[in-house]
Amino acid sequence: MKRIFLFLTAALLVASTAFAGKTYVVSVTQIVEHPALDAMRNGVADRLKEKGIDFTYNVHIAQGNMATNTQIVSQIMGEQPDLVLAIATPGAQACAQKIKETPIVFTGVTDPVSAGLVKDIQNSGGTNITGMSDFSPMDKHVALIREIVPAAKTIGIIYNSGEPNSVPNLKALKDEAAKVGMSVEEATIANSSGVYQAAKSLVGRCDVVYIGTDNTVVSAIESAVKVCTDNKLPLVVGDVDSVARGAIAAVAVDYYKMGLQTGDMVARILQGANPGSMPVEFLNDLNLHVNLKAAQAMGVTLPESLVARATKVIE
């Protein structure tokens, strides 16, 4: 499995008074490359630049390999960073298990409590870790599915059961679907190469396919798009970046904005704030993206009212 190391240096010519005279080392771990996670990483860096913070950004990407994800932690410890930025649940868990002194800020973690990262949302338990959750507003996702495919009775979902963030998403989907008389059919994968076959397995078993914020699936979403297009099976997703890659629609957080807000948390900690006293934060500003071309290719005519209120329309 390919492993990528990116070593980037970002600095402003004029540092703010609060951060003057020091170059901070921020080590980043990211489970895979895909637009949503990249957007968070870039958002953090841009916010630190805006604040005049001189920093070195050491980025490690595991490309979905869990063994590499664990190995990255040792690499980070050797860098002796001022702060660790963990993007998505697997990297955050690996760091939390071994790094006990250096501040850790996670982002894009669906359920930090069940992932064992914090004691509860308001209280990290006096540890060295805090961050942001992107827990999916599943009631809004199910409502969007019903608006796009009103006659749908069964939702098919593709997910990696080994990803801790995907389990609470699945439960939330089942709970919300049950409230409106819908059922859920599951297709599980172990790695991104299984997305195509998982999508094919749902053909004939469901009326619409839903892909949430599962990092493994999203990294290969084009495979699901092809199956859904070939079989006129509508595909709705849990992140707006996947809409540009061929899904019909999503109502979700703007991951770049989440990166900016995470950057604010990072800056406060670099300035001396204790992560153990900082509650987990959320981004409540949701965006609706629709892809008219994808809808047509999958046999769906989107309601005019839906298109009219979309934050972004891809034609």
* Residues 231, 273 within the same domain: no
Question: Using CA atoms, how far apart are residues 295 and 285, in angstroms rounded to an integer?
Answer: 25
Token readout for 82 is: 């001022």
* Residues 291, 280 within the same domain: no
* Residues 272, 160 within the same domain: no
* Residues 197, 224 within the same domain: yes
Token readout for 120 is: 């509860």
Number of domains observed in the structure of the chain: 2
CATH number of the structural domain spanning residue 85: 3.40.50.2300
DSSP 8-state secondary structure symbol assigned to residue 279: P
* Residues 143, 291 within the same domain: yes
Q: Quote the domain boundaries for residue 104.
A: 4-134+254-285
Token readout for 127 is: 């540890």
pLDDT in tens, the chain (315 residues): 445 555 444 433 333 445 567 999 999 999 999 888 999 999 999 999 999 999 999 999 999 899 999 999 999 999 999 999 999 999 999 999 999 999 999 999 988 998 999 998 887 777 899 999 988 789 999 999 999 999 999 999 999 998 877 888 899 999 999 999 999 999 999 999 999 999 999 999 999 999 998 989 999 999 999 999 999 999 999 999 999 999 999 998 889 999 999 999 999 999 999 999 999 999 877 899 999 999 999 999 999 999 999 999 999
* Residues 107, 48 within the same domain: yes
Report yes or no: 233 and 203 within 8 Å, Cβ to Cβ: yes
* Residues 159, 278 within the same domain: no
* Residues 84, 194 within the same domain: no
- Please, where are the H alpha helices in 51-149? 66-79, 89-98, 138-148
Q: Other C-beta atoms within 10 Å of 53: how many?
A: 26
Question: Using CA atoms, how far apart are residues 198 and 137, in angstroms rounded to an integer?
Answer: 24
Token readout for 145 is: 């599915």
* Residues 200, 161 within the same domain: yes
* Residues 154, 126 within the same domain: no
pTM: 0.76
* Residues 190, 298 within the same domain: yes
* Residues 219, 281 within the same domain: no
Question: Using CA atoms, how far apart are residues 145 and 250, in angstroms rounded to an integer?
Answer: 9
